[in-house]
Amino acid sequence: MPDQILDYKTRYLQIAFNYDLGLVTRVLPSIARSERILIEAGTPFIKREGLNGIRTIRSLWHGHVVADLKTSDGALGEVDMVRGAGATAATVLGSSPTEALDLFVAHCAELQMASMIDMLGVADPLRVLMRLKRPPDVVVLHRGRDEENTRGKVIQYRHVNRVRSKFGALISAAGGVDLKEARSAIFNGASIVVVNLVEPGDPWGGIRTDSDVAQVARHFLETIE
């Protein structure tokens, strides 16, 4: 397990598993270990496989494991659960009550986890952050899965400089990220790009599961270097 949470000078690739344990056990062992790769237990994956799914990812991956909880309430209990299963980072929704956000960020810090606030559906991330007792480790600018095919819906990079002017949090870009979007994310100041594994026939952007995932992951790492 990593000795530190996240390095603010490093650019990371976060690979999200959103399907089932079968895909995890087939694909994850092929991905070369790298301190620059975070493996995500996606929200659909956690709902399908539960804490056992996170434990399986932990058993196969010795780097960072992100539990994409999208917590909205009950922050202490949810953080405890995924930490016990091996996660080193977790997400909370930026639209949650300020009390939940404060508890989430503080408890992640106590447990040496990276706290990630997902700004899905939040019009003004800076306004959310200004109300907190302490900032999170990561602010996620997120275009949701259901928004990917909506004309004109883009990842809101305009918030990067506004957030950075007040806080030292890393910026993560998520939502239909392909190689072109990854380049754009880094150009606009993101430190983490979140890429979904996508099964053939599904309409979302990411790395196709019928491709050489390990090779494509290496290409992403080179792209965001």
* Predicted confidence (pLDDT) per residue in 75-104, tens digit: 999 999 999 999 999 999 999 999 999 999
pLDDT at 84: 98
pLDDT over threshold 60, residue 61: yes
Task: Write phi, then psi, for 72 (nearest 5 degrees).
Answer: -125, -20
pLDDT at 145: 75
pLDDT over threshold 60, residue 152: no
- Give the Cα-Cα-Cα angle 83, 87, 93 (nearest 5 degrees): 85
Look at 29-33, 38-42, 45-49, 201-205 and tell me which has the smallest mean pLDDT.
Answer: 201-205
pLDDT over threshold 70, residue 3: no
Q: Using 50, 70 and 90 to split pLDDT, how confident is the model at 65? A: very high
What are the boundaries of each domain within the chain?
12-223
Question: Is the C-alpha dihedral spanning 127, 46, 2, 176 positive or negative?
Answer: negative
Q: Mean of the pLDDT values across residues 183-190?
A: 94
pLDDT at 151: 59
Written as six digits, the tokens of 6 are 């996240």
Task: Write phi, then psi, for 14 (nearest 5 degrees).
Answer: -110, 115
CA separation for the pair 117, 192 (Å, rounded): 13
Residue with tokens 């196969």: 60
Written as six digits, the tokens of 190 are 């993101």
pLDDT at 76: 98
CA separation for the pair 4, 23 (Å, rounded): 28
Q: Give the max Cα distance, the chain.
A: 44
CATH fold of 12-223: TIM Barrel (3.20.20)
Roughly how many angstroms between the first and final C-alpha of the chain, as a whole number? 23
Q: Mean of the pLDDT values across residues 137-155?
A: 78
Written as six digits, the tokens of 197 are 């594994």
pLDDT at 4: 59
Express as a percent the part of the chain with pLDDT over 70: 94
